[in-house]
Amino acid sequence: MDKQGIEPGRLRKAPENFLDRAGLASVVQEARNGRRDFIRGAFAAAAAGAAAPLALAQGASTVQDGDPAILQLPEHSTGLGQPVVTDGYGKPSRYERNVQRRQSPGLTQTAQASVSFAPLQSLFGIVTPSGLHFERHHQGWWDVDPSRHRLMLNGMVKQAKVFTMDELMRLPSVSRFHFIECGANTGMEWGNVAVPTCQYSHGMLSCSEFTGVPLITLLEMAGADLQRGQFVLAEGADGSSMTRTIPMDMVRSGAVLVAYGQNGEMLRPENGYPLRLVVPGVQGVSWVKYLRRIEVGDQPWGAKDEAVHYIDLMPDGQHRQYTSIQECKSVVTTPSGGQVLLDKGFYSITGLAWSGRGKVKRVDVSVDGGRNWRTARLQGPVMDRCLTRFDIDWVWDGKPAIVQSRAMDETGYVQPGYRQLRAVRGTRSIYHNNAVQSWLVQESGEVKNVQTA
Amino acid sequence: MDKQGIEPGRLRKAPENFLDRAGLASVVQEARNGRRDFIRGAFAAAAAGAAAPLALAQGASTVQDGDPAILQLPEHSTGLGQPVVTDGYGKPSRYERNVQRRQSPGLTQTAQASVSFAPLQSLFGIVTPSGLHFERHHQGWWDVDPSRHRLMLNGMVKQAKVFTMDELMRLPSVSRFHFIECGANTGMEWGNVAVPTCQYSHGMLSCSEFTGVPLITLLEMAGADLQRGQFVLAEGADGSSMTRTIPMDMVRSGAVLVAYGQNGEMLRPENGYPLRLVVPGVQGVSWVKYLRRIEVGDQPWGAKDEAVHYIDLMPDGQHRQYTSIQECKSVVTTPSGGQVLLDKGFYSITGLAWSGRGKVKRVDVSVDGGRNWRTARLQGPVMDRCLTRFDIDWVWDGKPAIVQSRAMDETGYVQPGYRQLRAVRGTRSIYHNNAVQSWLVQESGEVKNVQTA
């Protein structure tokens, strides 16, 4: 950890990691020394720099067929490997042990009411591995016994009901990919604190395939009054007594799930095992974990986490309440803070875009701090209220560059810059910062978080 | 393990598991004894049975608001939970420890040249958690040091090349969801061996979001002769010296990836870390793990795993070769062999369908051994050469029922029954069994694997 008590991402502090600067430098040295003929020249061409069309060809060394060095086989090419894994759940490679969720020690007082951030800078595609899913607990996590867990439906219903897990899991379910983002994600930036990596700036964001029963199915079973009942309250079973109000319109559309599955298996304990609410597009706090009760009512509840927390203090001193939907947002994950570009030449700029209001329509990328923008490729399928991976080619000329992304969703909403956001929202918010993120690539290749309007 | 040396799935042998029969019986008993008033009647209604429209309403108990039993809070509702996980990679709940890959001890001689099957009966949606991804090794698995791993391109190329992992990961990548199925999946059924669970009958099947560089990009960088070069050879770095021929047409389309990512993170060691080939729609053996070399050539290589293994012995004594594409197939995963239906009433029949030739178009389900079929719901997005989850409502009347699914892909190909398959392929094959699977639900509720034509 550095002086701010914040631990940087994988590129700086992982000598065992193959993307580590020291490790790569040794490979370059090895090539220069000619000790491994077959990688001779691997980095020399890249260091020379070149125009865009040639840049792709820089990235590999040349080799002659029959080069004797190829015959020096490593142990894994000659020996007998490990047996099939039947003694436990599979784990990542030992070379990936630096890819971890990380806690920001200065951010919270206790580890039970805290956050661990997902390592976005090390992830690919859109799925977040469940072992790296961000955490936000209000009173710690529990491994709740599913045979004893119950879900109660009450309030404006004909007949209150209690479900066992088995009863829920017998009902028709759906599986859908959705992002989940904490309302406080990127919250430090409100106060001009440029945290060093995108793990800390944007890592309260994850994306999974969730499986569960549409809440509307359960409400219909209980004979809920869907005319007068315009809201539901979701209540968790853990000690934080988390309760959140959900508009019935979201439930009626079938979007809200009472979920038990995540990425093909049961939810993880840190993510609410055995049951959590899935509220697509809405901030994570409403995705109530250890879900034990749904109450139907005719007005919002104004619960503690709706009246005191998760509200937005506006410039006029008033606060916005029930600003639950996560507006359109994006972030470049490579290159991003804490990473190091080892040489000039071709890079694939890539990142994530999402919107709580539907599908991402377009992402533009700038490498000059917002003066010029190019439209990035979106990788499909682009799904509703789901992360979308974008990428765009870039040849770095070795000069300082400010890399940004700006997303637009299918409603036409465009992700704001900080100047635009602050003109409306002021500077005293904690939640719902969806401004354009700026990463400065320095001449040294080191990338740092900077703020530009 | 039972006498056949085969370990049944989670429903039989997991007293700690909440879907376990004994565990559920205790809940029923608890409800009958009235010791927990708030679940009184939970199962009584279900046991009575009812017509379809009412069936959904069976699945939950009724409750009175203010019932004092609700106030008996468990420890996790009053205590302080566990801190955020920062000391390691996240793990599933301890209540899920029975959900594991399993080896079939009778199937192979050594654990290094063996198989572990994915627990399909316990999975949801389409993503297979990487910790449960099926394994097939020919000489064991290795955790290869990525800083020393190289990929070589040679053969009919202008300039042979060698890539480091870093060089590959700088190139533009794509992420796509695809299934992978071993050509020998469901192989035991050729010989009328009805293995007890769908884990063993169909569990050499998994589905992930794969991330990598299209192989065509690398071939273009090496100046491959794409006119005369009609095939590529893929070679793995492990001791099995796996080599497989891939038609250039597949490569040219951009479908074939040199992949390093799986479900958002680096490949797992068992699945070829740090580099494997992804050949969508093609049997798993061609997805060469620990990929170290790609050679461009003008004819197939007839490698050992193409000439001796992974061939289909036909009724006339000849064998089919290079039958690599996995034809359209499906399987019901619930209810499936080894599971137990605890009472009559509503069930959601669900399963997986896939095709190596494109998207799944339709899945029909029968509960009477193929006399009548109903069309199931397909859960979206339906993706190309990817698993598709299907489901259909069913009210079990308590009588014996034979449950089957039959998939059709976008080419119009329909998954065959055993009689159709054997009429063409005979009975002496090992690979490429894509016949309709039949599960018998007995009056006891126990489900077993049966074969019907």
B303: domain CATH number is 3.90.420.10
- Report the pLDDT value the prediction gives residue B367, as an integer from 0 to 100: 98
- Report the pLDDT value the prediction gives residue B87, as an integer from 0 to 100: 65
Of the candidates B46, B64, B96, which is a domain's last residue?
B96
- Long-range pairs for B1-7 at CB < 8 Å and ≥24 separation? B1/B105, B2/B196, B4/B106, B4/B196, B5/B104, B5/B105, B5/B106, B6/B104, B6/B105, B6/B106, B6/B195, B6/B196, B6/B200, B7/B102
- Which residue among A90, A135, A145 places its CB closest to the CB of B131? A90
Q: Which residue has the higher pLDDT, A452 or A170?
A: A170
Q: Which residue of A has its CA nearest to B54?
A: A221
B193, B311: one domain: yes
% pLDDT > 90, chain A: 70
pLDDT band at B382 (very low <50, low <70, confident <90, very high): very high
Mean pLDDT throughout A101-130? 89
B286, B207: one domain: yes
A315 contacts: CB under 8 Å, gap ≥ 6 = A425, A426, A428
Of the candidates B320, B353, B374, which is a domain's last residue?
B320
Sign of the CA dihedral running B280, B286, B287, B291: negative
Mean pLDDT throughout A25-41? 41
| Interface residue of B70, B124, B211, B392 to substitute, partner A, most A CBs within 10 Å | B124
SS3 category, A207? strand
Q: List, for residues A325-345, the tens digit of each pLDDT value.
A: 999 999 999 999 999 998 999
For residue A52, pLDDT over 70 is answered with no
Whether the Cβ atoms of residue B133 and residue B268 lie closer than 8 Å to each other: yes
Asked if residue B4 is part of any domain, the answer here is no
Asked if residue B37 is part of any domain, the answer here is yes
A310, A261: one domain: yes
B85, B153: one domain: no
Which helix (H) or strand (E) is B297 found in, with range?
Answer: strand B291-297
Of B449, B356, B350, residue with least CA distance to B126: B350
Q: Which residue of A has its CA nearest to B239?
A: A77
Q: List, for residues B161-170, the tens digit of each pLDDT value.
A: 999 999 999 9
CATH number of the domain at B414, please: 2.60.40.650
Of B20, B15, B1, residue with least CA distance to B340: B20
Mean pLDDT throughout B173-198? 92
Q: Per the structure block, which two tokens stand in for B22?
A: 């004994």
pLDDT band at A192 (very low <50, low <70, confident <90, very high): confident
Asked if residue B25 is part of any domain, the answer here is yes
Alpha-carbon gap: B315 to the closest alpha carbon of chain A (Å):
34
Whether the Cβ atoms of residue A335 and residue A403 lie closer than 8 Å to each other: yes
Strand pairing of B150-155 and B161-164?
antiparallel
Rounded to a whole number, what is the distance in angstroms from the first to the last CA of chain B? Answer: 29
A381, A404: one domain: yes
Could you tell me how many CB contacts below 8 A there are between chain A and chain B?
Answer: 406
A124, A197: one domain: yes
Mean pLDDT throughout A271-293? 98
Alpha-carbon gap: B38 to the closest alpha carbon of chain A (Å):
7
Helices (H), B394-446: 418-425
Q: Per the structure block, which two tokens stand in for B35?
A: 């010791």
Question: What are the phi and psi torsion angles at A265 (to 5°)?
Answer: -130, 180
For residue B194, pLDDT over 90 is answered with no
Strand pairing of A115-117 and A401-409?
unpaired
Measured CA to CA, the distance from residue B309 to residue B303 in angstroms comes to 9
For residue A20, pLDDT over 60 is answered with no
Alpha-carbon gap: A414 to the closest alpha carbon of chain B (Å):
25
Name every chain A residue with its beta carbon within 8 A of the beta carbon of B99.
265-266
- Report the pLDDT value the prediction gives residue A106, as an integer from 0 to 100: 72
Which helix (H) or strand (E) is A351 found in, with range?
Answer: strand A345-354
Q: Do A92 and B128 touch (CB under 8 A)?
A: no
- Report the pLDDT value the prediction gives residue B8, as an integer from 0 to 100: 32
Give the range among A211-215, A421-425, B96-100, B191-195 with minimum mean pLDDT: B191-195
Q: Which residue of A has its CA nearest to B135?
A: A84
Angle at the Cα of B102 (from B97 to B108), degrees rounded to 5? 160
Of the candidates A320, A339, A371, which is a domain's last residue?
A320
B72, B197: one domain: no
For residue B27, pLDDT over 50 is answered with no
**Rg of chain A taking only CA atoms, in angstroms:** 24
Q: Per the structure block, which two tokens stand in for A102?
A: 């990380």
A216 contacts: CB under 8 Å, gap ≥ 6 = A251, A252, A254, A256
B28, B131: one domain: no
- Report the pLDDT value the prediction gives residue B57, as an integer from 0 to 100: 33
- Report the pLDDT value the prediction gives residue A2, as an integer from 0 to 100: 34
pLDDT band at A40 (very low <50, low <70, confident <90, very high): very low
CB A299: neighbour CB atoms within 10 A? Answer: 8
Q: Which residue has the tokens 């209150």?
A: A160
Segments forming the whole domain that contains residue B190: 102-320
Whether the Cβ atoms of residue B284 and residue B326 lie closer than 8 Å to each other: no
Highest-pLDDT range among A420-424, B274-278, B313-317: B274-278
E-only strand ranges, A189-238: 205-214, 231-236
Q: Per the structure block, which two tokens stand in for B177?
A: 């969801």
For residue B63, pLDDT over 80 is answered with no
- Report the pLDDT value the prediction gives residue B236, as an integer from 0 to 100: 96
Whether the Cβ atoms of residue B206 and residue B239 lie closer than 8 Å to each other: no
Q: Which residue of B has its CA nearest to A88?
A: B100
Burial string for A59-81 (b: 16+ CB within 10 Å, else e) reads bbbebeeeeeebeeeeebbeeeb
For residue B278, pLDDT over 60 is answered with yes
pLDDT band at B189 (very low <50, low <70, confident <90, very high): confident
B76, B117: one domain: no
Distance of alpha carbon B394 from the chain centroid: 24
Asked if residue A88 is part of any domain, the answer here is no
Write the single-letter amino acid at A425.
R
What is the DSSP-derived secondary structure letter of residue A82? B
B23, B129: one domain: no
For residue A57, pLDDT over 70 is answered with no
pLDDT band at B86 (very low <50, low <70, confident <90, very high): low
Of A328, A291, A322, A295, residue with least CA distance to A309: A322
Measured CA to CA, the distance from residue B402 to residue B173 in angstroms comes to 45
Asked if residue B250 is part of any domain, the answer here is yes
Residue A431's beta-bridge partner residues? Answer: none
A37 contacts: CB under 8 Å, gap ≥ 6 = A67, A68, A69
Mean pLDDT throughout B281-308? 95
Measured CA to CA, the distance from residue A100 to residue A93 in angstroms comes to 12
Measured CA to CA, the distance from residue A326 to residue A280 in angstroms comes to 9
- Report the pLDDT value the prediction gives residue A109, as an integer from 0 to 100: 74
Q: Which residue of B has its CA nearest to A158?
A: B62
pLDDT band at B452 (very low <50, low <70, confident <90, very high): low
Q: What would the DSSP string read from start to end of A355-409?
A: -TTS-EEEEEEESBTTSS-EEPEEPSPP-TTS-EEEEEEEEE-SS-EEEEEEEEE
- Which residue among B95, B162, B239 places its CB closest to the CB of A79? B239
Q: Do B90 and A268 touch (CB under 8 A)?
A: yes
Write the single-letter amino acid at A238.
D
Query: Environment class of residue A94 by beta-carbon count within 10 Å: exposed (0-12), middle (13-18) or buried (19+)?
Result: exposed
Whether the Cβ atoms of residue A350 and residue A365 lie closer than 8 Å to each other: no
Q: Do B124 and A217 touch (CB under 8 A)?
A: no
- Which residue among B19, B111, B166 places its CB closest to the CB of A83? B111
Alpha-carbon gap: B342 to the closest alpha carbon of chain A (Å):
10
A264, A386: one domain: no
- Report the pLDDT value the prediction gives residue A451, as an integer from 0 to 100: 74
SS3 category, A305? helix
CB A320: neighbour CB atoms within 10 A? Answer: 13
Asked if residue B417 is part of any domain, the answer here is yes
Q: What average pLDDT does chain A have?
A: 85
Query: How far are the Cα atoms of A170, A182, B174, B317 from residue A334, in angstroms, in the given order?
Result: 43, 22, 14, 56
E-only strand ranges, B338-434: 345-354, 360-366, 374-375, 377-378, 388-396, 401-409
Asked if residue B6 is part of any domain, the answer here is no
- Report the pLDDT value the prediction gives residue B441, as an integer from 0 to 100: 97
Mean pLDDT throughout B319-342? 94
- Report the pLDDT value the prediction gives residue A227, as an integer from 0 to 100: 94
Alpha-carbon gap: A433 to the closest alpha carbon of chain B (Å):
23
Distance of alpha carbon B11 from the chain centroid: 18
Counted domains in chain A: 3
Give the range among A23-27, A127-131, B94-98 with minimum mean pLDDT: A23-27
Asked if residue B180 is part of any domain, the answer here is yes
pLDDT band at B354 (very low <50, low <70, confident <90, very high): very high
Q: Do B140 and A237 touch (CB under 8 A)?
A: no
E-only strand ranges, A112-214: 115-117, 135-136, 150-155, 161-164, 174-181, 205-214
| Interface residue of A58, A103, A116, A170 to substitute, partner B, most B CBs within 10 Å | A170
CB A246: neighbour CB atoms within 10 A? Answer: 22
Residue B164's beta-bridge partner residues? Answer: B150
B66, B126: one domain: no
Measured CA to CA, the distance from residue B104 to residue B125 in angstroms comes to 25
Of B316, B312, B380, B377, residue with least CA distance to B351: B377
